[in-house]
Amino acid sequence: MIRTLIVDDDALVRLALVDILSDTPGISVVGQAADGLEAVDFAAQRHVDVVLMDVRMPRLDGIGATSRLRALPDPPQVITMTTFDLDEYVYNALAAGAAGFLLKDCEPAEIIRAVQVVAAGQGMLHPTAARRLIDRYHRGVRPESVAARARIDRLTPRERDVLVLLAEGAANAEIAGALGMRESTVKAHVSRILAALDVGNRVQAALCARDAGLGG
């Protein structure tokens, strides 16, 4: 069962998300929060697997809340949600450790899939909007290419191949098919990549790859 926390300052949005997720087998909505402080307090006291996180909220916004949640001893995965597909706040949330983001007007099936995907340890980087967001803000606002290239140099050639596809948003099964390897082997490569780059999730690894100019 994927224990999910919904965080949004709009009560109607929270109720809509509860309706979508509560009827889905394998997903349990264990709580709601109206701002980031409530979310952090809740997750610190109860186990949560996935947090659906609004970005712009009073008291503590989604960026600060994501950073605090990811610092917990047993951190949940975080999906940020926004009204706009090119929102600099979402980039900052990704850099703070979010596993990906969704637009609030996306289809219910996409929300359900996002919760399932990040609960399994993968990132929601594949939408075109996500790639545009990272290209626009990460390259323009945070020019850390020298440091990023130094971290990329720690990888083997095969790990770089995996990272290039990961940075394009490919799932493990897609990487396995493209590179002719087993999915379990891809998972092992991804684990080593995260450790070598000193990042917490696939999205942050993709940010590092793009900073270093790796891949398209």
Nearest alpha-carbon partner for 98 in 36, 152, 22, 188: 36
Tell me the pLDDT tens digit for each residue of 11-65. 999 999 999 999 899 999 999 999 999 999 999 999 999 999 998 899 999 999 9
Q: Per-residue pLDDT for 181 more than 80?
A: yes
Please state, in angstroms and rounded to a whole number, the distance separating the CA atoms of residues 111 and 116.
9
- Which has more confidence, 5 or 95? 5
Q: Per-residue pLDDT for 114 more than 70?
A: yes
The pLDDT assigned to 84 comes to 65
Please state, in angstroms and rounded to a whole number, the distance separating the CA atoms of residues 159 and 33.
39
Quote the crossing angle between the two packed helices 11-22 and 108-119, to the nearest 10°: 70
Nearest alpha-carbon partner for 131 in 172, 85, 175, 98: 85
The pLDDT assigned to 102 comes to 83
Fill in the DSSP letter of residue 124.
Answer: B
The pLDDT assigned to 158 comes to 93
SS percent in the chain: helix, strand, coil, step 5 = 55, 15, 30
The domains of the chain are located at 2-136, 144-211
pLDDT confidence band for 126 (50 / 70 / 90): very low
| Mean pLDDT within 87-93 | 72
| Helix, strand, or coil (residue 25) | coil
| Helix, strand, or coil (residue 158) | helix
Amino acid, res. 165? L
2-136 and 144-211 share one fold:
no
pLDDT confidence band for 148 (50 / 70 / 90): confident
Q: What top-level class would CATH report for the domain 144-211? A: mainly alpha
Long-range contacts at 152-157 (CB < 8 A, ≥ 24 apart): 152/197, 152/208, 152/209, 152/212, 152/214, 154/196, 154/197, 155/193, 155/196, 155/197
For residue 101, what are the β-bridge partners? 80
CATH 3.40.50.1820, applies to 2-136: no
Q: Is the pTM of this model over 0.95?
A: no
